Structure 1
Amino acid sequence: MSGSHAPEDDDGVLAVLALLAEEAPPSRFEALLQRARRDPADPAELARVERAVQLARDVHASLDRRQQREAGFAALVDTARDLTFPYDLDTLLSVITRRVRLLLHFDMTYVALGDGENDMVIHTSEGSTTALNTGLRVKGGSGLGHQALVSGAPLWTADYLNDDSITHADSIDAVVEAEGLHALMAVPLRCGDTAVGVLYGADRKVRHYTPDEIGLICSLADLAAVAIEKTGLLQQARTHVAELELDGFRTRSSLARLEQLGEACSRIMSLLVAGADLTSVAKAAGDALDGTLQMRDPAGRILAAGGEIPDLDEEAVARAVLAAHAQRGPVEADARTWVTPVIAGTEDLGVLVLRPVAQLVGQDSWLLQITAQAFAVHLLMQRSAAVAEGPVRDELLDELLAAPASTHPPHQTAQRARRLDIDLDQQHVVVVARPEGGEQGRAVVWASSYAYRMSGLKTVQSGCIVLLLPATDASAAARAVADELSPLLGHPVSVGAAGPDWGAASITRMYREAMRCLDALTALGGAGCAASAQDLGFLGLLLSDDYDVDGFVNSAIGPVLDYDADRLTELTRTLEAYFASGSSPTNAAEALHVHPNTVSRRLERITELLGADWQKPGQALEVQLALRLLRAQGVLRDRRGQGGSRHTDEGQ
């Protein structure tokens, strides 16, 4: 036979070697062995062939293991390279579980990480058939993973549910059963001395893992632990970088805002130095704070405003004012409004109310405080100017109160008043205030500032502060003085007022009337109250110099008189009959010759016009006095008319 011989033609052992050299598959060795057994010519030769085939099998197995290890090492290198990429944690865990499943031919792989306590949470799963695995919390002390963490070495079982050496937990067993798992391996993920979690591999059949497989998954677990640790550090670094970038942005924004606030503060101070009024300062401060700003006095009245604040909750503002003075700084009245005190030392000069377009941030509250200090400086400057001009202004008011004994002609007095920005030709009221305790000096200083601020005059006579103020409502002016001065002194202040009137000649009369009103308050036990002659009803009529009978009658029963005049009714006549009959509707009906129901309806109408309290003793007395004055006026007019007729007849 020419050429090379086939392995079958050679000696049996040589044939095995030839097949081995050709890297023939195991089936060729089995075929050679079967032929040798069918023709057992030499038992010794058959034994040598069987021994050679067995050795060939071992060589094949060794080569297979070597190839598997080489493939495993190559895959390990590829995995190590993959794990060097900058993944986020979730992506990294997905790469790890996918690689482990492919390399070791698991049916399912998953990773559990510690939650900072004694439990673990399964973060990522590969090959699962249910949604029960991911997110499962593995309680401390239970399951194969915790045992692997405690031992610090990989643990495995060929059949998890039937392995009594494992501490089982119902939640874990339920997932294992739902996934149909049997074999399970748990490898701790350790980076140095720190365990970050557990890597699991599982099969849906009973499987016994080889040492090579266990070694490979341990190597993969070590790489995974380092990658997880690196990813965590990288995420921390990214977080720190992001925080640093954010801090840098905030710092740049704060610097820019500080520059803006500095410029705004300079504008406000420039306005103060230039002598601008409070309204101009409030407008500039409101523009700087991107909102509407109001300056209010201690009584809550608006002294200056950069605009109107709609839907302002005054009760919330009042509560915030108390908190702002207690904290000596800005306080939120509500989600849209801020309040800050205007103070000089311990003295309350008022508050600022701000409605910003957007919420105050950063240094905005600082500018609000600076603005409050600017307003305080402005008010103190006004007070200083008022004190400096005080003697001149006091002298003018003293002369006006002393008229007509004043030696200065009226036109000279008017000129002096105009030089002090006082227009005596407009309506004024006179307010007399008497502090009921405390030092008078502080009240006098306040009065100088208040008169200057209100474009009025102030003086002190007989221990009382006298103010001449431009106003049209004496009662309101009296209450305003009491509301602001009494909290400042910490003691009650009795205030009487009179007016309004105009012209220098009326000031003396208003002063005497205001003093009588103040004396009447004291006599009536009303010390610490504020009122005008009009507030005292018929007592004010008696105290008044001009005896304004028509004004008193109109204030007492004016609505009834107007109703009768407009509708030609007899409510006034019904009132007279009602009081004349001892407040009896039945007797009044007899006197009027009408049905009692008619009187009742008329009394109901009178109640609508005069208010529910018109039958109470105080108001009833004023109503009866007004009715008598009205009747007396009518009689006097009739008599004057008759006397004039007789005089005319006699003349003819």
Structure 2
Amino acid sequence: MTETLPGDVIVSLLQAASAEQEVDVDSLLADVPLSEQDTTRIRYEIRRLRATSERWRRRGQELAALFSSARELAQLRDVDELLGRLVERAHDLVGTDVTYLSEFDAKSRELRVRTTLGTVAPSFLGLRVPPGAGLASQVVEGRRPYWTSKYAAMTEAPHDSAIDAAVAAEGLVSLLGVPLLAGDEVIGVLFAANRVEHAFSPEEISLLSAFADHAAIVLQTARLLARTQDSADDARRAYGELARHVEAMERASDVHSDLTNLVLQGGQAPDVATALGRALRCDVTLRSPEHLDGPVADAVDRSRRSGRCTPASDGTHAVAVLAGPTLLGALLLEQGEVEFGPVELRTAERAAQITALLNLKQDAMFEAEQRVRDDLLADMLSDDPDRRANIATRAHARGIRLDELRSVVVISVPAELRREAVRALRRTGGPVGEHADRVVAITSYPDPATASALIHTAVRRAVRAPVLAVGAGIADATADLHTQVDAASACVRILPALGLNDTAVTTDEYLPYTALFGPGEARVTTYVRRVIGPVLDWDAKHAGKLLPTLAAYLGNRMSPVATARALHLHKNTVLQRLERTTELLGEEWQEPDRLFRITVAVRLATLAKSP
């Protein structure tokens, strides 16, 4: 090319090559004296330069968008939000139909679709890719991009039926996957997919790979920051727990010191509740066994079995005060300023032990006093005039005024529980003790029904077993006490035969029985012997069962069938026993007048045999 081109033509050609504006190259070169060969070369170079310029311009725009996205992502700290925004930006950069990200689990070697954009099938989110399956596994194992223009025809990676079904449901055809790498570690795979067949260009692969590299760094940083934040939160929680534990230990040390001083200085059990409440900054009360009821009583029962401080349904914490199997009371803790943790609960349990120790100490002193009172009660119930001499003076010395005592209650409990029953009745103020296998309590209540009911409740709550309590009024403790105790004892003996084993009554309520079976009443025995003596003798000699059979027969309207059913016997056995009864009592024993007297005698004999 020897011709010289005008300057404006050269400028126009450069503008055409830069693609900054559209220029008609053919018309521009038409007036320039150039050979056909030179013209063709110029046209080719201009097209090549224009394509290169266009590619670099597009590349610059993509890089600008890439760095802008990277800066935006770097400002996010929440991992879930970051994953969603990451997929959005990748979707905008590449412009495919669907973009999604799968997280890689290094332990299970599985990939799980975590975030998607552009999907329509609900089954796609959360899809799991097992190790070695699908395009995603190829990306993980090769640590480089992989793509396919037609997934259904892909042979480079093994197919999985679940993955194929999800891809088909979404209508995906072409897929490109690039790894998210943090150093040598794969943390996920970023996918761009189309619902049409598409061959991904090197520029698209390079752009998505560059974005994935930035995203991996940001995602890994966010994860590390999240872990650091979690670790910092754990450290703060641990420090707070340690500080609380140290504070609790200091409180426990203080209360232990206070409790030790209480023991050494002769403190009382209620002082323990005060010291415990002061240390734990809450309300603490000491309850006696007879004042435990409702949810608190249930909690104390659980504490009694476990030996631990136990919460009640009303929010109170209860710890039983025990001396061996004996319940001495309970400490009740109301939630206050300090939250009850393991240290506080153990402190309450130690306080209950100190309370029991102080109670036992107090009980030892009381036992000495009680022995004196037991002796006083025994003297009051004695027939020996010498033991009853000066009884009022001796009672007054013990703080008891005999002229104020108005009722006596005889209590029947199992032998092993009598001592605990006596302990429960110490607060009545009057003489209490054991007498003739019973517990006797003398009170100032003028109404014997009220006295027996209150004492039955107190003993029943303490021993947690059936209790019989029979009350009787007394006009003069020095004169008629012995008689009333005998009458109440006789009533106690008869009540089980009447089907009563756990109740509070008075002797007046069962006056006919106590009159018949009261002390010194021998006429009843004579009457019974005269009417049914042969039956009693037969049973004594042959270890027979005629009397109970006769009682059941009379109690079941003289029906052999009903009698047999009541005694769980065959009808013939009952008939044989009735025949034997006829032989002993005579053929006329079922005549009305004779039958009435026999019925009374059988009833009296049955009651007389009661314990």
Answer whether TM exceeds 0.5 for this pair: yes
* Change in 2 beyond 3 A, CA 1:283/1:483: farther
User: Counterparts of 1:478 and 1:194 in 2: how far apart (Å)?
Assistant: 80
Shift of 1:225: 1.5
- The equivalent residue for 1:349 is 327
1:213 is matched by which residue type in structure 2?
A: E
**1:93 to 2:83 alignment:** yes
Q: In structure 2, what is the Cα distance between the partners aligned to 1:194 and 1:415? A: 95
Of the three residues 482, 486, 510, the one matched with 1:508 is 482
Q: Of the candidates 27, 44, 54, which is equivalent to residue 54 of structure 1?
A: 44
Retained in 2: the 8 A contact 1:40–1:46?
A: no
For residue 177 of structure 2, give the secondary structure of its aligned residue in structure 1.
Answer: strand
1:516 CA displacement = 5.5
Which letter maps to 1:504? A
> In the TM superposition, what whole-angstrom CA distance separates every residue of 1:82-111 from its partner, at most 9, and x where no partner exists?
333242123322332333334444444322
Pair 1:220-2:200 in alignment: no
2:426 maps to a residue whose letter is Y
2:522 is aligned with 1:541:
no
- The question of whether the paired residues in 1 share the 8 Å contact of 2:179 and 2:186 is answered with yes
**1:127-170 alpha-carbon deviations (Å, 9 max, x no partner):** x2747487241432554323322332111123445546565567
Give, in angstroms, the shift of residue 343 of structure 1.
1.4
Q: Counterpart of 1:349 in structure 2: which amino acid? A: L
Distance 1:480 1:190 in 2: 78
Q: How does 1:635-646 map to 2 (within 5 A)?
A: none
Which residue pairs with 1:242 in the alignment?
Answer: 233
Distance apart, 1:31 and its partner CA = 4.0
Shift of 1:172: 5.7
Provide the rounded CA distance (Å) in 2 between the counterparts of 1:129 and 1:456: 89
Kindly provide the CA deviation profile for residues 359-388 of structure 1, in whole angstroms up to 9, marking residues without a partner as x.
984255445535543542353233112123
Are 1:89 and 1:231, in contact at CA under 8 Å, matched by a contact in 2? yes
Match of 1:415 in 2: 396
| Amino acid across the alignment from 1:150 | E
Instruction: Classify the secondary structure of the residue corresponding to 2:381.
Output: helix
Residue of structure 2 equivalent to 1:135 = 125
2:287 counterpart of 1:295: yes
Contact preservation (8 Å) 1:482, 1:530: no
Given the alignment of the two structures, is residue 192 of structure 1 paired with residue 183 of structure 2, yes or no? Answer: yes
* TM-score normalised over the length of structure 2: 0.64
Instruction: Compute the displacement of 1:73 (Å).
Output: 4.5
CA distance in 2, matches of 1:375, 1:535: 42
* Secondary structure at 1:329 match in 2: coil
Runs (5+) with no aligned partner, structure 1: 1-6, 548-581, 585-616, 626-652
Cross-structure match for 2:101: 111
Match 1:155 to one of 146, 150, 175: 146
- Partner Cα distance (1:276, 1:108) in 2: 80
* Contact 1:337–1:353 (Cα < 8 Å) also in 2: no
Please show how residues 391-406 of structure 1 align to structure 2 within 5 Å: 391-402=371-382, 405-406=386-387
Give the unaligned 5+ runs of structure 2: 522-555, 559-595, 605-611
Structure 1 residues 202 and 422: CA distance shift in structure 2, 3 A? farther
Q: How does 1:144-543 map to 2 (within 5 A)?
A: 144-161=135-152, 163=154, 165=156, 182-203=173-194, 205-248=196-239, 295=287, 297=289, 302=290, 304=291, 312=294, 323-331=302-310, 334=313, 340-344=319-323, 346-350=324-328, 352=330, 361-363=340-342, 365-366=345-346, 368-370=348-350, 372-373=352-353, 375-402=355-382, 405-406=386-387, 408-409=389-390, 412-413=393-394, 415-418=396-399, 424-429=403-408, 431=410, 446=420, 449-458=423-432, 467-468=441-442, 472-473=448-449, 499-505=472-478, 506-513=480-487, 538-543=512-517
- Asked if 2 retains the 8 angstrom alpha-carbon contact of 1:430 and 1:467, the reply is yes
Cα–Cα, structure 1 residues 412 and 67, in superposed 2: closer, same or farther, change >3 Å?
A: same
Separation in 2 of the partners of 1:55 and 1:230? 47
After superposition, residues 22-101 of structure 1 pair within 5 angstroms as 22=15, 24-25=17-18, 31-33=24-26, 45-101=35-91
**2:587 corresponds to:** none
Q: Distance in 2 between matches of 1:29 and 1:8?
A: 27
> CA offsets per residue over residues 421-471 of structure 1, 9 Å max, x none?
5665133325477975x7xxx966x57644534423345667876554556
Shift of 1:349: 1.8
CA distance in 1, matches of 2:149, 2:229: 43
For these two proteins, the number of residue pairs brought into alignment is: 520
- CA deviations 1:505-564 (Å, max 9, x no partner) are 1333334445656787999999999997568764422344699xxxxxxxxxxxxxxxxx
CA distance in 1, matches of 2:123, 2:73: 24
Name the CA shift for 1:405/1:526 in 2 (closer, same or farther; >3 Å). Answer: farther
In 2 relative to 1, CA 269–495 (structure 1 residues): closer, same or farther, beyond 3 Å?
farther
Q: CA deviation at 1:199?
A: 0.7
- Matched residue type, 1:415: H
**Using the alignment, how far apart are the partners of 1:149 and 1:15 within structure 2?**
57
Identity of aligned residues (%): 22
* Contact 1:184–1:203 (8 Å) recurs in 2: yes
CA distance in 2, matches of 1:185, 1:448: 90
Distance 1:100 1:133, change over 3 A: farther
Instruction: From the superposition, tell whether residues 101 and 60 of structure 1 become closer, same or farther in structure 2 (CA, over 3 Å).
Output: same
Distance 1:177 1:46, change over 3 A: farther
Alpha carbons of 1:329 and 1:423: their partners in 2 closer, same or farther (altered >3 Å)?
farther
Superimposed CA distance per residue, residues 397-434 of structure 1 (whole angstroms, 9 cap, x where no aligned partner): 3442347545754653453242xx56651333254779
SS in 1 for 2:213: helix
Matched-pair contact (CA < 8 Å) for 2:405–2:442:
no
How far apart, CA to CA, are the structure 2 residues paired with 1:27 and 1:389? 118
Q: Residues 425 and 502 of structure 1 are in contact (CA less than 8 Å); yes or no, is this contact kept in structure 2?
A: no
Amino acid in structure 2 at the alignment position of 1:154: P
> Once the 2 structures are TM-superposed, how far is the Cα of residue 229 of structure 1 from its aligned partner?
1.6
Q: TM-score with structure 1 length normalisation?
A: 0.61
CA distance, structure 1, for counterparts of residue 511 and residue 277 of structure 2: 46
- Name the Cα RMSD after superposition: 5.6
Aligned to 2:563: none
Q: Does the CA-based 8 Å contact 1:340-1:353 persist in structure 2?
A: yes
Matched position secondary structure for 1:456: coil
Cα distance change of structure 1 residues 460 and 131 upon mapping to structure 2, 3 Å threshold: closer
